[in-house]
Amino acid sequence: MNDFKLIRVERIENNGKKELLIHNPTTLKLIGAGSQGAVFQLDEDICVKIYVNPNAATKEGKALEAAKDSHIVPRLYEVGPNYVIMEYLKGPNLKDYLKGKQDIPESITEQIIMIRKELKRVGFIRIKTSIGHFVVTKGNVLKAIDHSDGLTMNDPYNPKMFRDLKKLGLLDTFLKQAKKIDPESYEEWQKNIDFNAI
């Protein structure tokens, strides 16, 4: 189980582009990689994220701890010097789930709004929520991942999610549904996000 401590990740620059270099001498399956690190499956229900920057592991642990009672993030098991052990969420990310769809289900819009509000309620000041950072779990229940800057970087209106939805041709539908479901959030976005620039 402690094999994961042999794994090393580093960010390198290759032809002017940053890449994640993963050294995995174990048999653990790589299930995801991003700019901050790589995620490996430890067993059916648990995974570990190994970070390039140990500080990011600490921040992610604190963020998951802050949101632990809301059930919108993976369950946290352990925070180490450069890793976080957490619940493995089974299912596609929302970006893949919505690809090729003509419409966004209203239940998904409702959950996105609820998660964003819940992140604020538990103290998050960065509400990035890229649609790639939502996992569609059993029963089409959304959970949010990748929160290392959630408590430390002040960015409550990051447009990434809206940009993602626009690329999929679903932004107008999402906003129409949001206006009906939660007019308050809708108005807040209209005041703070330049949708023409997205």
DSSP for 123-179? Answer: T-SB----GGGEEEEGGGEEEE---TTTTTS-BTT-THHHHHHHHTT-HHHHHHHHH
pLDDT-based confidence at residue 197 (cuts at 50, 70, 90) = confident
d(CA 184, CA 103): 23
Provide the mean pLDDT of the chain: 93
Choice between 155 and 58, residue whose per-residue pLDDT is larger:
58
pLDDT at 170: 96
Locate 146 and state its tokens: 């990748």
Residue 91, SS3 per DSSP = coil
Element (H, E) at 10: strand 8-14
Give the predicted TM-score (pTM) of the model. 0.90
Pairing label, strands 83-87, 76-79:
antiparallel
SS3 31: strand
CA distances from 125 to 120, 121, 148, 157 (A): 7, 10, 11, 9
Give 68-123 pLDDT, tens digit per residue.
Answer: 998 899 999 999 999 999 999 999 999 999 998 889 999 999 999 999 999 999 99
How far is C-alpha 182 from the chain's CA centre?
22
What are the backbone angles phi and psi of residue 86, rounded to the nearest 5°? Answer: -145, 175
pLDDT digits (tens, 9 = 90+) for 162-194: 999 999 999 999 999 999 999 999 999 999 888
